Chains A and B, each alone.
Chain A
Amino acid sequence: MDAADPLPDNMPPDLPGAGRSRSHLRLVVPTSPSDGAERDQLDDWMVAVATCHDREAFASLFRHFAPRLKAWLWRTGSASEEAEELTQDAFVLLWRKAAQFNPERANVGAWLFTIARNLRIDRRRAIHDTWTTLDDMEFQGVADSGDGQEAELSRRQYDERVRAAMLRLTPDQRTLVQLSFYEEMSHSRIAAHLKMPLGTVKTRLRSAASCLRNLLEECRP
């Protein structure tokens, strides 16, 4: 086990999953500093949905996020039909649970990401109670309501710092973080995918994840 080995340059283009090429192992960090205003707009739409049941704002959110969400669900293992259903279900839940949205705790993209992720977990676990995980979010929200330090920093500033934190990871670290987190690959699948010993993958993932956590903590006020 040699933690100094670089990751292979030519990684197989396909991730496990029906033999289709779903992967985009390019760096998927948004780099344009000008999209902060757009993200504020997205959060504003979400607040309008939460406070005024604004269907126009809801439709705008749907047009922006639904194709992205469907693409992510498909690329990380859902069949096309399931990705479509989960996307639609996620938006219905977003509407019904909108009052729980707290812009100081999450941006709308992160919130939608967690809704869709939890819906898919429930489906995989055959828990036909789509409220379960959302109730968990509510439960945790209540428990955490006292630690709102993030409110001191504007949402846009925070998002920009998070983006900057990701850019400060090394390319190898970003690849590992992306495989573990964004591609939903278990450690053993990453080891097989990268043709590396499991121990090496675990060691490097620990280092990459703690580097990301430290950078995110620096982002916080």
Chain B
Amino acid sequence: MIRHHPDDSLLLAHAGSSLDTGPALLVESHLEGCARCRQVVRGFERVGGQLLEVESGQPLGQGALEAVLARLDAPVRVPPPPVVRPKPPLPAGYNWPRALRHCRVSRWRAMGPGMRWSRVSVPHDPLANVLLLRIGAGKCLPRHTHTGTELTQVLCGSFDDGRAVFGPGDFDEADADVLHQPVVQAQGECVCLAAVDGRLVFDSWIARLASSVVGL
């Protein structure tokens, strides 16, 4: 059961397509598994439809309707098969979000005992800072805070960061007000998708060294 959802302002921005690339990927991944948030977004889209109604209107080019009517019966172009980039394996029983299908995901790389990470490259926005963290059962990330916003979508497993327990499908937003140390629960490893705006600030020098390697 999903207990933690994106903030309403993120869902509103998603409906209006004003999210930056990283947050957009995270919110889309969450929506795939969350009927509650899809319903909220549908409400916001309904507002969008009403606002469209009161646009003053801008005339279309000459013959636009005829041009569109002529295209209606044209043979439907068979869409090329979507380019699905290969991904490293997830623990059994879990699938990659569809939102990531166009993205490149690097192989898992070690960043500490029982901790691995992987870079998610978004083709249309190479600067988007999106990554995957794969942390073993019972392991904990070093205690840290953030200079910007860190969005997290749990793909599998669960962690407790002292504020709450986050399980599969849960979404979290942490900023400079949050100093936390996520601890993965004993039942199994945890894989999270994260979008980071700004940098993570770790307490310990070892973690700072490791984070500089990862680019956080």
Question: Is B12 a contact partner of A180 (Cβ separation < 8 A)?
Answer: yes
Contact call A112/B102, Cβ cutoff below 8 A: no
B-contact 0/1 string along A120-162, CB 8 Å cutoff = 1100111101111000100110011001000000000011001
A185 and B18 contact, CB distance less than 8 A = yes
List B contacts of A105 (CB < 8 A).
42
Interface contact B16-A182, CB-CB below 8 Å: yes
B46 at the interface (CB under 8 A from A): yes
Chain A residue with the shortest CB-CB distance to B28: A136
Q: How many residues of B contact A (CB 8 A)?
A: 52
Bound form: Cα–Cα A105–B42 in Å: 8
Q: Are B64 and A166 in contact (CB under 8 A)?
A: no
Contact of A180 with B16 at beta-carbon distance under 8 Å, contacts A129-B80, A212-B47 already known:
yes
Q: How far is the CA of A92 from the CA of B61 in the complex (A)?
A: 16
Q: Is the Cβ of A209 less than 8 Å from the Cβ of B11?
A: yes
Decide if B13 touches A180 in the complex (CB within 8 Å): yes
Question: Measured between alpha carbons, how far is A186 from B40 in the docked complex, in Å?
Answer: 19
B54 within 8 A of A: yes
Kindly report which residue of chain B lies nearest to residue A55, judged by CB atoms. B69
Which residues of chain B are within 8 angstroms of A183 by Cβ–Cβ distance? 16, 18
CB < 8 Å neighbour of B35 from A84, A87, A147 = A147
On B, residues with C-beta under 8 Å from A are 7-9, 11-13, 15-20, 31, 35, 38-40, 42-61, 64-65, 67-69, 71-72, 76, 79-80, 82, 98, 102, 123-124
* A interface residue numbers (CB < 8 A to B): 24, 28-30, 35, 39, 55, 58-59, 62-63, 65-72, 74-75, 83-84, 87-88, 91-92, 95-96, 105-114, 117, 120-121, 124-127, 129-132, 136, 139-140, 143-144, 147, 158-159, 162-163, 166, 177-178, 180-187, 202, 205-206, 208-210, 212-213, 216-217, 219-220
